C-alpha cells in the first residue's frame, strides 16, 4: 500500500487524526484517534507551550499507530480570512493581479502580513453578460503558517498540504454539484463556523466566537458546578426539556439561540442573494458539540429545515469493523477525514 499523508485537525480542545488508504472498492480507515489538545493549544507564543503542543501531537500520532511522517493540516477558520467574492469573468492571469485589489477590500489587515490563496469556484463563459465569476479567497497570517510549520516540524512531521478547515470539511461532506443547498455548522469548543453550500461549492462562510466551552460556562454558573461536572451534565442531558427537569437545557439555550440567530442571518443573506432558486434544504452539524443530545432537533424545530449530524465515515468501506466509540463520534472527524482525502484528489 502506498502511504499517503494523514489528516490532522488541531482543535483548541481536542486533536483528531485520520489515516486512510484506497483500495479498488473505495477508502479504508487505517487509523484514527481523538485526544485532548495541550492546554494552550496553538494559541500561545511561548516556546515552552509550542514544545508541549509538539509533544502532544507526536504522542497522539504514535498512539494511533500512524507511521507516515507526512501530514495534511488545516488552519482554524477563526484565524484566517475566507471570503467568496463575485468578480467579473477574468482569465487566470487577470485574476492573479485583480485578486489583490479584492483582498484589500475584504481583509482588514495589511496584505503584507498574510499569505493569499484563491481558487475559482465558478467561471461562467464570458458571453453570458451579467453572470459573475465566483472566487474563493483565503488569507492566512504568515505568522500562523510559520507557527504550524514550526510546531509540526518539532513533532517530527512534514507538512504536505496546509489548507483551511472549510476546504477539508467540504471535501469530506459534499459529494458534488447536485448536492442539495445546505448550511454546515461546525460546532467546536471555542468557535463555530457557519458555511453555506450551493451547487456543491462554498458560497459564504464565517466564524462565530462561541461553542461548547460557552455552554459549559453557562452550566457552571447556573449550578455552581466544577468544569468536569458541567461537561458531564451537558453530555448527559443536552438541551432536553424533560431530562433533569429541563434545567440543563435552560442553561444551554442562550448559547444555541445565539448560534441560531447567526444561522437565520445566513439564511436571509442566501435568500436575498439567490431568491427562491435552490433554497437551503438541509443543516449539517459537525464538530464535537454536534453530539450535544437533541441539538439536531433544536435546529430542525427552530428553522424548519431538515437537520442531520455529519457522517464523514460514510465514504469508507470498512465502517462495520470500527469500534463503536469511533462510529458514534463520527462527527468529530470531519476535518481530519477531509484532510486525509486530499492526497487522493485528482
Ligand X SMILES: Nc1ncnc2c1ncn2[C@@H]1O[C@H](COP(=O)(O)OP(=O)(O)OP(=O)(O)O)[C@@H](O)[C@H]1O
Choose among Mg ion, ligand X, none what residue 14 binds, the Cβ cut-off being 5 to 8 Å by kind. ligand X
Q: Is residue 189 close enough to count as binding ligand X by CB under 6 A?
A: yes
Choice from 139, 288, 312, 338 touching ligand X (CB under 6 A): 288
CB 97 within 8 A of CB 110: no
Report the nearest approach of Mg ion to the CB of residue 297 (Å): 23
Using the minimum distance from each CB to Mg ion, give the nearer residue, 99 or 152: 152
Residues 306-335 that bind ligand X (CB under 6 A): 332
Query: Which H helix or E strand runs over 189?
Result: none
Strands (E), 123-173: 133-141, 158-164
**β-sheet bridge partners, residue 201:** 198
Q: Is residue 154 close enough to count as binding ligand X by CB under 6 A?
A: no
Contacts 24+ apart (CB under 8 A), 120-129: 120/92, 120/95, 121/84, 121/201, 121/202, 121/203, 122/199, 122/201, 123/89, 124/89, 125/89, 126/89
Residues within the interface to Mg ion (CB under 5 A) = 11, 188
130, three cell numbers: 451579467
Query: Which H helix or E strand runs over 178?
Result: none
Q: What DSSP state is assigned to residue 5?
A: P
For 29, phi and psi rounded to 5 degrees? -80, 120
CB 142 within 8 A of CB 169: no
Choose among Mg ion, ligand X, none what residue 7 binds, the Cβ cut-off being 5 to 8 Å by kind. none
Report the nearest approach of ligand X to the CB of residue 139 (Å): 19
Of 28, 44, 37, 39, which Cα lies nearest the Cα of 9?
Answer: 37
Report the nearest approach of ligand X to the CB of residue 184 (Å): 13
Site size for ligand X (CB under 6 A): 22
Q: Residue 301 — left, alpha, or beta (φ > 0 → left; ψ -120 to 50 → alpha)? A: alpha
Using the minimum distance from each CB to ligand X, give the nearer residue, 102 or 288: 288
Choose among ligand X, Mg ion, none what residue 338 binds, the Cβ cut-off being 5 to 8 Å by kind. none
Choose among Mg ion, ligand X, none what residue 98 binds, the Cβ cut-off being 5 to 8 Å by kind. none
Report the nearest approach of ligand X to the CB of residue 144 (Å): 13
Choose among Mg ion, ligand X, none what residue 249 binds, the Cβ cut-off being 5 to 8 Å by kind. none
Report the nearest approach of ligand X to the CB of residue 293 (Å): 7
Report the nearest approach of ligand X to the CB of residue 152 (Å): 17
Using the minimum distance from each CB to Mg ion, give the nearer residue, 61 or 335: 335
Spell out, one character per residue from 10 to 39, where the chain touches ligand X: x when CB under 6 A holds, - when not.
-xxxx----------------------x--
CB 194 within 8 A of CB 262: yes
Spell out, one character per residue from 205 to 234, where the chain touches ligand X: x when CB under 6 A holds, - when not.
------xxx-----------------x--x
CB 16 within 8 A of CB 81: no
Using the minimum distance from each CB to Mg ion, give the nearer residue, 7 or 188: 188
Choose among Mg ion, ligand X, none what residue 13 binds, the Cβ cut-off being 5 to 8 Å by kind. ligand X
Report the nearest approach of ligand X to the CB of residue 64 (Å): 16
- Other CB atoms within a 10 A radius of the CB of residue 25 amount to 8
301, three cell numbers: 424545530
CB 202 within 8 A of CB 238: no
Residues 79-108 that bind ligand X (CB under 6 A): none
For residues 154 and 168, give the distance between their C-alpha atoms in angstroms, rounded to a whole number.
24
Interacting residue ranges for ligand X, rule: CB under 6 A = 11-14, 37, 76, 188-191, 211-213, 231, 234-235, 287-289, 291-292, 332
Amino acid at each position: 500500500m502506498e502511504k499517503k499523508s494523514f489528516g490532522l485537525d488541531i482543535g483548541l480542545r481536542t486533536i483528531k487524526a485520520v489515516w486512510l488508504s484506497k483500495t479498488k472498492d473505495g477508502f479504508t480507515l487505517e487509523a484514527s484517534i481523538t485526544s485532548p489538545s495541550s492546554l494552550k493549544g496553538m494559541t500561545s507564543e511561548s516556546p515552552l507551550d509550542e514544545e508541549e503542543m509538539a509533544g502532544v501531537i507526536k504522542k497522539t500520532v504514535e498512539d494511533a499507530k500512524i507511521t507516515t511522517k507526512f501530514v495534511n493540516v488545516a488552519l482554524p477558520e477563526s484565524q484566517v480570512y475566507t471570503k467568496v467574492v463575485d468578480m467579473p469573468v477574468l482569465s487566470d492571469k487577470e485574476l492573479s493581479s485583480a485578486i489583490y485589489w479584492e483582498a484589500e477590500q475584504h481583509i482588514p489587515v495589511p496584505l503584507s502580513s498574510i499569505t493569499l490563496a484563491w481558487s475559482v469556484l465558478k467561471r461562467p463563459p464570458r458571453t453570458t453578460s451579467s453572470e459573475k465569476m465566483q472566487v474563493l479567497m483565503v488569507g492566512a497570517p504568515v505568522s500562523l503558517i510559520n507557527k504550524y510549520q514550526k510546531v509540526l516540524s518539532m513533532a517530527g512531521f512534514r507538512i504536505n498540504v496546509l489548507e483551511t478547515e472549510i476546504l477539508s470539511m467540504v471535501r469530506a461532506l459534499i459529494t458534488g454539484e447536485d448536492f442539495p443547498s445546505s448550511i454546515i455548522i461546525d460546532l467546536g469548543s471555542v468557535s463555530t463556523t457557519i458555511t453555506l453550500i450551493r451547487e456543491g461549492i462554498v458560497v459564504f462562510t464565517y466564524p462565530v466566537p462561541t461553542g461548547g466551552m460557552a455552554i459549559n460556562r453557562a452550566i457552571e454558573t447556573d449550578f455552581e458546578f466544577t468544569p468536569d461536572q458541567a461537561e458531564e451534565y451537558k453530555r448527559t442531558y443536552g438541551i432536553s426539556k424533560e431530562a433533569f427537569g429541563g434545567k440543563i437545557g435552560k442553561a444551554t439555550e442562550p448559547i444555541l439561540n445565539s448560534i441560531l440567530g447567526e444561522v437565520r442571518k445566513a439564511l436571509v443573506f442566501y435568500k436575498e442573494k439567490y431568491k427562491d432558486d435552490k433554497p437551503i434544504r438541509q443543516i449539517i452539524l459537525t464538530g464535537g458539540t454536534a453530539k450535544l443530545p437533541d441539538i439536531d432537533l433544536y435546529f430542525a424545530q427552530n428553522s424548519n429545515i431538515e437537520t442531520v449530524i455529519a457522517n464523514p465515515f460514510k465514504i469508507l468501506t470498512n465502517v462495520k469493523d470500527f469500534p463503536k466509540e469511533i462510529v458514534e463520534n463520527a462527527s468529530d472527524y470531519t476535518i481530519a477525514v477531509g484532510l486525509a482525502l486530499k492526497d487522493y484528489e485528482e
